Amino acid sequence: MLDSLDPAEIDADPLKVATRLRHAPESADGLDVSRSELVSAALTQARLRGRARQKFGAMAERMFFTPNGLEQATRRSVADYRARRFAAALPAVTRVGDLCCGIGADLLALAGAGLTVEGVDADPFTAAVARANIDALGLSARARVREGDATSTAPGDYDAVFCDPARRGARGRVFDPHAYSPPWTAVTLLAEGASAACIKAAPGIPHDLVPDSAGAEWISVDGDVKEAALWFGTLYDVPRRATLLRGDGREPATIVADPALGAPPVAPPGRYLYEPDGAVIRAHLVAEAAAAVGGALLDPHIAYITADQLVDTPFCRAYEVDDVLPFSLKRLRAALRGRRVGTVTIKKRGSAVDVEKLRRDLRLSGPKSAVVILTRIGDRPVCLLCSEARRPQQADRAGSAERA
C-alpha cells in the first residue's frame, strides 16, 4: 500500500486517495489495526517520505519516519560525512554506540561506512522505526537497536560513542542545551567517558558550553548552517573548524583555527566584499577567512570582509562593489533607479532596517538586478550597491569568449 502512494497526489486531494485505499483489495488481516487505521498510517508515512526527500534523497522512499524523528534527523550528506570521520579511525574504532539514535539517520550512515553500530533510544516506538529502517536498507548484519536510557549506558562498552540529544519537546524546538534530553551536562559526561566520541548539537551552541576536551566543528550544506559537532578523545584533532558540504559533488571544504592570527585588520570598502559562510561565522573563523583572501573587516564587530582582489575561496561569497552610500531611502532609491534596477537582493548585518518594508518602499522597476548590502561602519549606517563577482575562472572564460 505505502509504496504505491505519491506524496504530491496526497497533498492535491487527500480525501480521494484515502477513499481509494479504503476500497482497495489489500486488507489489514493479521494486523492489530483496522482498515482505517492502516490507511491513515500509510498516508502519514507517504507524506513524511515526501518531506524526507530533501534530507535523504531517493533513500527516503525506503525509510520510515515519525514527525519529530524526521525533524531532528541528520541530513544524509552530513551523516555520511561524519560517518567517514568515524571510519577514518579504523581499526581502532570498529564498534560504535549511537546513543539517542532516533529513527536511525546517523546509525545507518555509520553502518554504511563499515562500522558495527548499536543504537539506543528510550522511546519504544522510535526504536522500532529505527529497526525498520535498518531492515529496509539491508544493514541488519552491522546494526541493531535496543531500548534504553542513554545516560545509564557505559561508554566503555564501545570503541566510540555518538550522541544526538533530543532538541524537541512537547512545545516544539528546545534552544537551551541544558533542556536537551538528556541534558547537556549528562551528554558531555558520556562523551568524556568514552575513548572516542562525538556529540551533535544545534549550530547556535554557545562557545562557552564547548568543553575544553572537545574540538568543535560547525557544518553547513550549500551555505545553510545545519549543526555543530563536538569531537572527543581520539577523534579530537583541532579546537575549532568549519566544514562546508556542497551538493554539487565537490569535496568538503574545511577551515581551521589559526592560533597565530590576531584580530583581522579593518579597512574602508575596497573593490570586493566577501560574505563568510555561516559555519565560518559560527566557528569564529572570520579572521582566518579574511587572511585567506588578503582582506580586512569593514567594521571590527561585523563579519563583512573587504579586499581589492578577487580570490576564489569556498568560505565566502564574493560581490563586486559598485558604490558605497550613506544609508537613506531616498538616496538608495535614486541610485537603483538610475541603474535601471528592478530586482534587488537585500542582505544586512549590523543594520536595524526592516528589509521587507525597505523592499516595498523602494518601488523599483527596470530590467536589471543588484545586490544591496546594509551594514554599518563604526556608527555610520551604510549601503553597498553590489553585483555578483565572477570567479577568476569565469572571468578568464568570458575574456576568451570575447577575444574569440
What tens digit of pLDDT does each residue of 33-56 get? 455 666 677 778 888 988 999 999
Judged by average pLDDT, the poorest of 44-53, 75-84, 85-94, 349-358 is 44-53
Tell me which of 24 and 177 has the higher pLDDT.
177
Q: How far apart are CA 2 and CA 8, in angstroms?
A: 14
Q: Which residue has the cell 570598502?
A: 269
- What is the rounded average pLDDT of the residues 219-239? 96
User: For residue 136, which amino acid is it?
Assistant: A
Which neighbouring-strand residues pair with 357? none
Q: How far apart are CA 45 and CA 60, in angstroms?
A: 10
What tens digit of pLDDT does each residue of 56-70 get? 999 999 999 999 899
% of the chain beyond a pLDDT of 90: 77
Q: How is the chain split into domains, by residue range?
A: 2-60, 70-255, 272-393
Q: What is the pLDDT of residue 142?
A: 97
**Residue 247 confidence class, pLDDT cut points 50, 70, 90:** confident
> Each residue of 222-252: b (16+ CB within 10 Å) or e?
eeebbbbbbbbbebbeeebbbbbbeeeeeee
Q: How far apart are CA 319 and CA 390, in angstroms?
A: 8
**Residue 401 confidence class, pLDDT cut points 50, 70, 90:** very low
Give the distance between the most distant pair of CA atoms in the chain: 74
Tell me which of 20 and 111 has the higher pLDDT.
111
- What is the rounded average pLDDT of the residues 119-134? 95
Sequence-separated (6 or more) residues with CB below 8 Å from residue 381: 326, 327, 351, 353, 374, 375
Task: Indicate left, alpha or beta for 220 from its phi (over 0: left) and psi (-120 to 50: alpha).
Answer: beta
Q: How far apart are CA 110 and CA 93, in angstroms?
A: 11
Q: What is the pLDDT of residue 31?
A: 46
Give φ, ψ of 17 to 5 degrees.
-65, -45
Q: How far apart are CA 341 and CA 140, in angstroms?
A: 58
Say if CB 234 and CB 225 are below 8 A apart. no
Q: What is the pLDDT of residue 348?
A: 96
**Residue 346 confidence class, pLDDT cut points 50, 70, 90:** very high
CATH dotted code for 70-255: 3.40.50.150
CATH 3.30.2130 fits 272-393, yes or no: yes
Q: How far apart are CA 133 and CA 142, in angstroms?
A: 13
What is the 3 state secondary structure string of the chain? CHHHCCHHHHHHCHHHHHHHHHCCCCCCCCCCCCHHHHHHHHHHHHHHHHHHHHHHHHHHHHCCCCHHHHHHCCCHHHHHHHHHHHHCCCCCCCEEEEECCCCCHHHHHHHHCCCEEEEEECCHHHHHHHHHHHHHCCCCCCEEEEECCHHHCCHHHCCEEEECCECEECCEECCCHHHCECCHHHHHHHHHCCCEEEEEECCCCCHHHCCCCCEEEEEEECCEEEEEEEEEECCCCCCEEEEEECCCCCCCEEEECCCCCCCCCECCCCCEEEEECHHHHHCCCHHHHHHHCCCEEEECCEEEEEECCCCCCCCEEEEEEEEEEECCHHHHHHHHHHCCEEEEEEEECCCCCCHHHHHHHHCCCCCEEEEEEEEEECCEEEEEEEEECCCHHHHHHHHHHHHC
Angle at the Cα of 390 from the Cα atoms of 384 and 356, rounded to 5 degrees? 40
CB atoms within 10 A of CB 66: 19
